[in-house]
Amino acid sequence: MWQLGPLAFAVPWLLLALPALPVLWWLLRVSPPAPRTQSFPAIRLLRDLPPNEETPHRTPWWLLLLRMVAAGLLILGLARPVWQPGGGGGGSGPLLVVVDNGWAAAPDWPARMAAAGAALEAASREGRRVAVLATAAPDTGEPVAATGLMPAEEARARLAALRPRAWAPDRVAALAALGDFRRAHPGAFATLYVADGVEHAAEGDAFTPLVAALAEAGPLTLARAEAQPARMLPPPRAEADRLMVRVLQVPATVATEATVLARTGDGRAIASATIPILAGASSAEAALDLPIEIRNQVVRLDLEPEAGAAGTVLLDERFRRRPVGISAAVETSAEAPLTGDLFYLERALGPYAEIRRGSPEQLLSRQLAVLILADREVPEGREREALARWVEQGGMLIRFAGPRLAERPDPLLPVALRAGERQLGGALSWDRPQVLAPFPEGSPFAGLAPPAEVTVERQVLAEPSPQLSERSWARLADGTPLVTEVARGQGRIVLFHVTANAEWSNLPLSGLFVDMLRRLVALSAGVRGAESDAPLAPLEILDGFGRLGAATPAAAPIPANQVEATTASPRHPPGWYGSAGQAEEAAWRRALNLSAHLPPPRAAAAPPAGARVEAIGGVPAERDLGPWMLAAALLLLAVDLLVSLGQRGLVGRHWSRGARAAGLAALLLAAAPARAEENAVVASNATHLAYVVTGDAQVDEISRMGLAGLSDFMNRRTAAALAEPIAVVPGRDDLSFYPLLYWPVLAEAPQPDAAAVAALNTFMRNGGIILLDTRDEGSGEGMNPGARAALRRVTRDLAIPPLAPVAEDHVLRRAFYLLQELPGRFSGGQVWAARDQDRANDSVSPVIIGGHDWAAGWAMDARGQNPFATIPGGARQRVLAYRFGTNLVMYALTGNYKGDQVHVPAILERLGN
Amino acid sequence: MTVIPIPWAEALGATLPPLVVQAERVASTVMQGVHGRRRPGQGDAFWQFRPYLPGDSASQVDWRQSAKSDRLFVRETEWEAAQTVAVWCQADAAMDWRSDAMLPTKQVRAELLVLALSALLFRGGERVRLFGLPRAFAGRGALASLAQSLPRQAALAEDARIPRHARAVLIGDFLAPLEETRRVVAQLAAGAVRGHLLQVLDPAEETLPFTGRVRFHALDAAEEALVPRVEGVRALYEERLARHREGLAALAAASGWSFATHRTDQPPETALLALHRRLAPG
């Protein structure tokens, strides 16, 4: 290894060949280039030329230079140059590469791999043996262990297989593994420790002893990412109508900011919150404002810039739509419209929460976030105990007052109540019904504006007590509490001092009621209550980068009531857990989040004095320049070969003509798509009728004249603006521009090929209409023998729906004119259209089949005259033919909108009423 | 042998008037032609009246002239003979060469000139001979058979059967040593044949446009010449070619012949016009 600035050579003695280049130069100069041969009749005149001393033959200087550069590159390339070679870990013995591959290593994992890879590269050049030790436990459930010493090439494969894990590195286990390694391989070795720089246990993990042990064994290089502090995103705090997201990080010297993205199940980011982090701060918080409907769709929060598994929080149903149980004293009358106890509650909560009905005992047997009791007393006994226990565990109990509660207060109330209720503004009272006072600060209702028309006529009154004012979330204008609350254990009890129906106040009639309930439900801590110890199997787990994937074999189920308390580990990787049968029911998935139980990240202790500290990232990885130089040399030699051949006349002037021919061919090929594009522009600039080219010039001309005549007629009589008709060949031309395709069927018409069939079927499926004309119906019977067979042949592969004669009330008969018959040049035959109504295409029949030779009927020559007489004849038939054409085009352009006329009587009747 | 399309040659010749060869002395043949021999014989032009001699047939008597006097006169016409032009077109490997695919080979150009010249001569009523062939061609339809006979002509312009006082046109590159050409011309001139040499060269033979190190090899022999730097010898080559041409012109002039050059990149009309002017009277 010989280093020259940032450039090093692995085989430096080969550079000794460089001084030989001038010799090569001289040799190339004195040896003439091979002559080109040339036949020449007048060779006699060239005989015995005197030696020409003034112009010696010579290889051109640029060719000489080219060869010299190629030779130089060859020598340099073989000397295996390396740009900015890695340090290699110092020392000379075996090399141990220790890699922290916990969650904190994920954000800059490629840079870490590059740092370790550079060391392996250097070790491979120096022929050192390498062992790899990853500090995080592998996901197979095996313990942390170092590999044996192996050649660097093998170690590279081991290194490439390493992945960051979705749990913290276990440095205590790594220290033990190091002890095993040293016992197996006594003697000094150098170490490269690619560390994540984070203490992963609150009281400090074994980072310091590990580093000390490594330093003891030999020279130690510590590679750390200084610029990027480790970050994590703990599970958010749910508040009314928003999620409070917090970012924890190792304190950094500069202020930065992080972004939290809220994603739905299909990966869409639907909201984001930017969190500024002050310099030196270890945490920062911001609100993620989300309407509840949107919030219910959020299944994960991601920290940006990417922070791996610790920056990902999966949100299960605890953060989602809450199950709310409602219960009334008398179930039978509770749902009575406008008067029932639960009538308003159901309507207010229905859009935002999952409502369950039943007695409190029934409701509490399942998981529940909020239980609402509307004027229902809780008698002493099992029910009261169960309720009290549930509230202690974090349930939210909301109670509404009423005559029964006023009679018999119970302890499950936030405040002591006076017996009886207070009546305001009754017939025997001087008081006015009371309006609401503005909500106090600190109340979950703060910010809501109480409307002036909400008044309270009756309420239950609280006994005055010192805590009454702080327990009041809402008051009336005279200061008496309307909503009071008290925290019990992890849960709370909320009391509305009015009824849940409109009997005591008109609060339940107002939108304020809805908002208040929504905030209360959002405030609830989530599902509480009976959680069994049924095991939840891992459904999907997060890898170290925070990507969901299939569960590893080592991942074990967790009992449902243990999910909260479980710390992420190889046995329980973070991710979704649930019972397999309930996997589709998202409400039953439980999320295990890595960040829920991680201590706030702390910077690791300083390395011991003897260790060399390197930065990860920012430094370009070493680059082996050898192959590039050899490739460049080969390229130059190939150029040289071509030039030499050219000089000998073996390649040359014939090329130019070949190239010209190739260029011309390419131009012709390019012109073909250009023509198709031009057609498309013409076709889409205006509405065109189109006809299928039959190959019979006369018939095609009649089709063209017919459609031109019809277009002319329609331009004069209707609002439709039709341009010149266009001839199309199905399968070759794009049919999507045309509403109507006129197709005269000739007796000798061949069966359309596959491409044409596909194009026509697509055309019909997308709403196009094909008018198939056999030209032999009615008065034209026998004019076109064989057309029926041809029609069968032509339409064999087309997706023709079942047909029926065009009915008297078919839209085709009145799309513009009211028509009894549908004549063309001939008259009296049957015309067929789709039998069934297909709502997909506005009930428009994709195909209309008849034999009236309509094009001949509509045909108009250049002088504006009709070249084909109608049969049986008369100007009337001609007019009717044009009218049919108009109806047809209107049908094609507007669909069945004229069909709606059948509803006109009903509409008129409704308007009259 | 490249077959020249006859219509092409005829079309080329059609741009010029029929060629009647200027002939001070017509070749000693008995063929009837347009050249008066200044003696009575077969012909259309009036020559003289001579008194009737016993033995003349009565039909020879010019009665109109005889009626002017008491004597009988016989009308004699001038003996008119056709001139014979012997043409020769060099045909060897060196002629079948071109420096560029866009140019005709020298052979093609030479044969085209031969045929076009023959077409002109046939229209003028003259006769055309090929060296080495027993009989001459004459008449308008003879062009096709002449073209077919071209491959059978002699390799050298030597034929003892060429009549005296005929004219000769030799077309070729004449790059052979001067002595060879001099011998051929001298032999013909000894037979009182006057003639014309037309040297057809490829432009590359005139300018030597090659560059660099080139190994030249001859077409018909194994001869080779390695030129290290063609640019350096170009001037010398041109000087040698000019000397060769001077030699050709000199040997032609010595026998009373003429000499002209033609390049294949020039239109054939120029060469044909030059030949026409050389052969036509006045």
Strands A740-744 and A847-850, by their bridges, are unpaired
pLDDT at position B199: 93
Q: Which residues of A touch chain B, with CB atoms under 8 Å apart? A: 32-47, 49-50, 52, 54-57, 647
Cα separation, A702 vs A127, in Å, equals: 88
SS3 (DSSP) at A261: strand
**Cα separations in angstroms, A10 against A86, A628, A819:** 13, 15, 95
Summarize chain B as % helix, strand, coil (round to 5).
35, 25, 40
Task: Count CB atoms within 10 A of the CB of residue A717.
Answer: 13
Q: Name the residue of chain B whose CA is nearest to A39's CA.
A: B217
The number of beta carbons lying within 10 Å of the beta carbon of residue B12 is 21
Q: Give the predicted TM-score (pTM) of the model.
A: 0.45
Nearest CA in chain B to A38: B216
Gap from B139 CA to chain A (nearest CA, Å): 37
Average the pLDDT over B110-137 and give the result: 85
How far is A660 from chain B, CA to nearest CA, in Å?
Answer: 16
Contact B214 A55 (CB under 8 A): no
Helix, strand counts (H, E) of chain A: 21, 44
DSSP for A86-106, written as a single string: --TTSSSS-EEEEE--SGGGS
At B19, the pLDDT band (50, 70, 90 cuts) reads: low
Question: What is the Cα–Cα distance from A592 to A569, expressed in whole angstroms?
Answer: 11
d(CA A142, CA A123): 28
- Asked whether the domain spanning A677-902 has the same topology as the one spanning A327-523, the reply is yes
Partner residue opposite A41 with nearest CB, options B94, B214, B240: B94
How distant is the Cα of B235 from the closest Cα of chain A, in angstroms?
Answer: 11
String of DSSP letters for A312-363: EEE--GGGSSPEEEEEES-TTTTT-TTTSSSHHHHHHHTTTSEEEES-HHHH
Inspect the interface and report whether the beta carbons of B216 and A40 lie closer than 8 Å: yes
Q: Domain spans of chain A?
A: 1-23+58-78+623-646, 95-229+602-621, 231-322+540-551+576-600, 327-523, 677-902
B214 neighbourhood in chain A, CB within 8 Å: 35-38
B95/A57 Cβ within 8 A: no
Q: Which CATH number fits domain A677-902: 1.10.10.60, 3.40.50.12140, 3.40.50.970, 3.30.70.2750?
A: 3.40.50.12140
Question: Contact B217/A45, CB-based, under 8 Å?
Answer: no
DSSP letter at A744 equals E
Distance CA A594, CA A546 (A): 10
Backbone angles phi, psi at A645, to 5 degrees: -60, -40
Whole-Å CA distances, A582 to A317, A538, A589, A590: 14, 12, 8, 11
- CA angle B212-B218-B221, nearest 5°? 150
Q: What is the pLDDT of residue A55?
A: 46
Nearest residue of A to residue B100, measured between CA atoms = A653
Sign of torsion over alpha carbons A670, A676, A677, A681: positive
Distance from CA of B109 to the nearest CA of A (A): 16
pLDDT at A584 over 70: no
Phi and psi dihedrals of A778, rounded to 5? Answer: 60, -125
Q: Which CATH architecture fits A231-322+540-551+576-600? A: Sandwich (2.60)
Candidates A129, A207, A220; CA nearest to A168 is: A207
Look at residue A655 and tell me whether its pLDDT is greater than 60: no
B51 has which bridge partners? B73
Single-letter amino acid, residue B264: T
Largest CA distance in chain A: 147
Say how far apart CA A837 and CA A811 lie, in whole Å: 11
How many of the other CB atoms lie within 10 Å of CB of A581? 8
A881 vs A430, residue with greater confidence: A881
Q: Chain B closest CA to A625's CA: distance in Å?
A: 38
Other CB atoms within a 10 A radius of the CB of residue A115 amount to: 26
Q: What is the average pLDDT score of chain B?
A: 82
Please, what's the b/e burial string for A51-74 (b: 16 or more CB within 10 A of its CB; e: otherwise)? Answer: eeeeeebbbeeebeebbbebbbbb
Chain B partners of A643 at a C-beta cutoff of 8 Å? none
**Structural domain spans, chain B:** 6-29+83-279, 32-81
Interface test with A, best of B103, B105, B230, B238 (most A CBs within 10 A): B230
Q: From CA A559, how far away is CA A532, in angstroms rounded?
A: 8
Chain B: closest CA distance from residue A62 (Å): 15
**If you average pLDDT over residues B247-266, what whole number do you get?**
91
Give A-chain residues touching B231 at CB under 8 angstroms: 55
Chain A nearest CA to B197, separation (Å):
18
Q: CA-nearest residue of chain B to A647?
A: B212
Q: 3-class SS at B120?
A: helix
Query: Is the ipTM, as predicted for this complex, more than 0.85?
Result: no
Query: What are the percentages of helix, strand and coil residues in chain A, rounded to 5?
Result: 35, 25, 40
Measured between CA atoms, how close is B138 to chain A, in angstroms? 35
Chain B interface residues facing chain A, Cβ-Cβ under 8 Å?
Answer: 94-95, 97, 106, 173, 175, 177, 201-202, 204-205, 210, 212-219, 223-229, 231-233, 236-237, 240-241, 244
Binned at pLDDT 50, 70 and 90, residue A676 comes out as low
Give the confidence band of A543 by pLDDT, cuts at 50, 70, 90.
Answer: confident
Element (H, E) at A263: strand A256-264
| CATH fold of the domain at A327-523 | Rossmann fold (3.40.50)
Give the residue from B214, B236, B243 with the most A CB atoms within 10 Å of its CB, the best one to mutate. Answer: B214
Structure confidence at residue A54 (pLDDT): 44
| CB contacts < 8 A (A, B) | 91
Are A848 and A770 spatial neighbours (Cβ–Cβ below 8 Å)? yes
Q: Which of A689, A718, A720 lies closest to A705, judged by CA? A: A689
Mean pLDDT of A389-413: 84
pLDDT of residue B67: 92
Domain A95-229+602-621: top CATH class: alpha beta
Q: What gap in Å lies between CA A809 and CA A815, rounded to an integer?
A: 10
Residues of chain B contacting residue A658, judged by C-beta atoms under 8 Å apart? none
Q: For residue A84, what are the contacts with CB-CB under 8 A and spacing of at least 6? A: A6, A619, A620, A621, A622, A623
Cβ separation of A44 and B177 shorter than 8 Å? yes
Residue among B215, B218, B236 minimizing CB distance to A49: B236
**Cis bond upstream, residue A608 (ω within 30):** no
Per the prediction, chain A carries an average pLDDT of 81
Highest mean pLDDT, choosing among A426-435, A709-718, A864-873, B34-43: A709-718
Is-contact A730 A694, C-beta < 8 A? no
Query: Which chain A residues are within 8 Å of B232, Cβ to Cβ?
Result: 52, 54-55
Architecture label for domain B6-29+83-279: 3-Layer(aba) Sandwich (3.40)
Q: How far is A670 from chain B (nearest CA, A)?
A: 30
User: What share of chain A in percent tops pLDDT 70?
Assistant: 88
More confident residue, A354 or A796: A796
Sign of CA dihedral B255, B260, B261, B265: negative
Of A357-361, A785-789, B140-144, the range with the lowest mean pLDDT is B140-144
A829-879 per-position pLDDT tens digit: 889 988 877 666 677 888 899 888 898 889 888 777 888 888 787 788 888
The closest of A210, A131, A214, A146 to A177, measured between CA atoms, is A146
Task: Report the 10 Å Cβ neighbour count for A610.
Answer: 10
- Tell me how far apart the alpha carbons of residues A881 and A852 are, in angstroms, rounded to a whole number: 9
Task: Say if CB A317 and CB A525 are below 8 A apart.
Answer: no
Residue of A32, A37, A52 lying closest to B233 (CB–CB):
A52
Furthest CA-CA distance within chain B: 92
What separation in angstroms does the CA of A450 have from each of A346, A447, A473, A510, A515?
21, 9, 13, 9, 11
* Closest chain A residue by Cα to residue B101: A654
More confident position, B79 or B48: B48
Best residue of B92, B100, B216 to probe chain A, by most A CBs closer than 10 Å: B216
Mean pLDDT of A757-764: 88
Residue A21 corresponds to which tokens in the numbers above?
Answer: 């280049």
- Residues from chain B that touch A35, judged by Cβ atoms under 8 A, are 212-215, 226, 228
Is residue B117 within a helix (H) or strand (E), and if so which, with residue range? helix B106-123
Return the beta strands (E) in A560-670 as ranges.
575-578, 590-592, 602-603, 612-615, 623-624
Smallest CA–CA distance, residue B13 to chain A, in Å, is: 29
Q: What is the mean pLDDT of residues B227-250?
A: 88
Q: Which of B215, B219, B224 sits opposite A41 (nearest CB)?
A: B219
Integer CA distances (angstroms), A346 to A338, A352, A396, A429, B180, in order = 12, 10, 17, 33, 128
Contact B229 A36 (CB under 8 A): no
pLDDT band at A564 (very low <50, low <70, confident <90, very high): confident
Query: What is the full DSSP assignment across A400-440?
Result: E--HHHHHS--SSSSS-EEEEEEE-S-TT--PPPEEBPPPP
pLDDT of residue B201: 92
According to the model, what pLDDT value does residue B1 have?
46
CB A617 within 8 A of CB A107: no
* CA A298 – CA A769 distance, rounded (Å): 47
Give the count of beta carbons closer than 10 Å to the beta carbon of residue A114: 20
Rg (CA), chain B: 23
CA distance A53 to chain B (A): 9
Q: Which residues contact A875 (CB under 8 A, 6 or more apart)?
A: none
**Mutation to test the A interface, candidates B174, B211, B213, most A Cβ within 10 Å:** B213
With a cut of 60, say whether residue A28 has pLDDT above it.
yes
Among candidates B224, B229, B240 on the partner chain, residue whose Cβ is nearest the Cβ of A52: B229
Which positions in chain B touch A47 (Cβ < 8 Å)?
223, 225
pLDDT over 70 (residue A660):
no
